[in-house]
Structure 1
Amino acid sequence: MNGIDRRSLIAGIAGFGGLSLAGCDRLDRSPAFKAILQSSEKLHYRAQRIVAGRDTLAREYSVADMSPRFRVNGTAMPNTPEYAAMVANNFADYRLVVDGLVARPLALSLGDLIRFPQRAQITRHDCVEGWSAIGKWQGPQLGPILRLAGLSTQANFIVFHCADSIGAAQYYESIDIVDAFHPQTILALLMNDQKLPIGHGAPARLRVERQLGYKNAKFVMRIEARRRIDDLFAGKGGYWEDHGDYAWYAGI
């Protein structure tokens, strides 16, 4: 099975899982059904690691392949005074906090992030809702940032805390160490050779190209290294995961 077919197949499976959770209230409340879903997710995670390997790249495209329109999905503008103040100041006061299981906690400005080696990649964003778009992203790889912070060998997960909230719940996402150090996992500061638009997650957005779109957290404010994620918020590793909509691992 080639890379495109595998991405489409797994995207379809993940989308079906999300629709099943959203549409079947009785099953959603069933402990037995939830156990089946959790078991399937673990199988998917292990199978993907075997099929794709640690460093296998998601397909990259040419400039000619880029989509004329890349829709804004999710939060278009965080509704907080703190974020509004950063926008008004052109993100001059933005600081990306890197903490948790690290030896040297960091507070990085946009200037600091730009001084890291930058990676540019044209990739396809596959949304669990059924649409796709191809765009160009550029920014520092996540791995060197974690190395600079002195990532502990006890860290198994990287959590991305975001500026936006949905209702009373803060938006967040998480990935494992393998995806954190994947060469295509970057903090995007540019989109299509322009400063990252607010609707697409300014000033910094996670791009983890081997996973579905909802894992690509926008408005990243803090990166936390953790040994476990089952003791964070509702324990599922992300906003949508905590609410039972999507699986934690969305590999494609």
Structure 2
Amino acid sequence: MKTFLDRRRFLGGLAAASTLPLSGCFDPLVASDSEVRGLLESANTLTYKAQRLLLGSDHLAREFDRSEIRQPMRPNGSTNPQDEPYLALARNSFQDYRLSVTGAVRTPLSLSLADLQSMPARTQITRHDCVEGWSCIAEWTGTPLGLVLDRAKVASSARYVVFLCFDTLDNGFAGPIRYYESIDLLDARHPQTILAYGMNGAALPVANGAPLRVRVERQLGYKMAKYIRAIVVTDSLVAYGEGNGGFWEDRGYEWFAGI
């Protein structure tokens, strides 16, 4: 176990270091004489396959005891979407919410929150590691993403799962730029990857992504898309955003943020 945890910390340091110049939160750490600069340079040379080799495919992120939840889960990113389709759903307590699952699947789905809650659930107490340098332990309850993909019957050509979200983070020439993220099918089917609708024994709060967010416990926080409106299974990321796999990845962050 110690070997795995040391490797997890090492990979987390590399993944976080690779985004330091973008976040602006750790500028003193990347001074010319800083050891972090060495980590940063190393992180930039790690390929996706190399990180996969180090991380492995079947390891679980550490889970904690309920007594270790010492504070509310700190919201990150957008915390109160003002997009009208989202506001309309929120006004009705998300009773009309539907999650679409389309793309490279044989059985497209349209699932209500009640549909998701009727499926087998997983509850896990894990640590959220933010690229900004903070962490927080919380309890998450939701439907394993793998079960949803099984119901949709993923095509053999599929490689990625893309999460399309309600929250607009920017406005471009072509219109609103909404948050999106993606993971590969290996992470999508990991037992700790869940579509969370509950947090700390209650319904998921709006500030933390209601009605639905993904938890990818072996990756940094920006990978865990909130306010999910649709899931698309695909063999390529080119058609989404600028083709880099996520809102922040389009702005220079690493796509595979494994820790």
Structure 1 length-normalised TM? 0.89
Q: Distance in 1 between matches of 2:106 and 2:89?
A: 28
Is the Cα contact below 8 Å between 1:210 and 1:251 reproduced in 2? yes
Q: Does 1:132 align with 2:135?
A: yes
Deviation, 1:45, is 2.7
* Paired positions, count: 239
Q: Does 1:210 align with 2:218?
A: yes
3-state secondary structure, aligned to 2:248? helix
Matched residues, percent identical? 49
Q: How does 1:188-227 map to 2 (within 5 A)?
A: 188-227=196-235
Deviation, 1:15, is 2.6
Residue of 53, 62, 67 corresponding to 1:64: 67
Structure 2: any 5+ residue segments left out of the alignment?
28-39, 172-176
Q: What's 2:9 paired with? A: 8
Bigger Cα displacement from structure 2, 2-11 vs 183-192: 2-11
Is the Cα contact below 8 Å between 1:76 and 1:200 reproduced in 2? yes
Please give the per-residue CA displacement for 1:122-163, whole angstroms capped at 9, x wherever unaligned: 000000100000000001100010110111011100000001
Please give the per-residue CA displacement for 1:178-213, whole angstroms capped at 9, x wherever unaligned: 000000000001000100000000001100001011
Is the Cα contact below 8 Å between 2:18 and 2:44 reproduced in 1? no
Q: How does 1:51-90 map to 2 (within 5 A)?
A: 51-90=54-93
Residue of 160, 168, 192 corresponding to 1:184: 192
Amino acid at match of 1:19: L
Q: Distance in 1 between matches of 2:81 and 2:128?
A: 22
Is the Cα contact below 8 Å between 2:106 and 2:153 reproduced in 1? yes
Amino acid at match of 2:257: A
User: Structure 1 residue runs of 4+, over 6 Å off?
Assistant: none
Deviation, 1:54, is 1.4
Structure 2 length-normalised TM? 0.87
3-state secondary structure, aligned to 1:2? helix
Structure 1: any 5+ residue segments left out of the alignment?
25-36
Residue of 173, 179, 182 corresponding to 1:171: 179
Deviation, 1:40, is 5.0
Is the Cα contact below 8 Å between 1:159 and 1:173 reproduced in 2? yes
Q: Distance in 2 between matches of 1:176 and 1:6?
A: 21
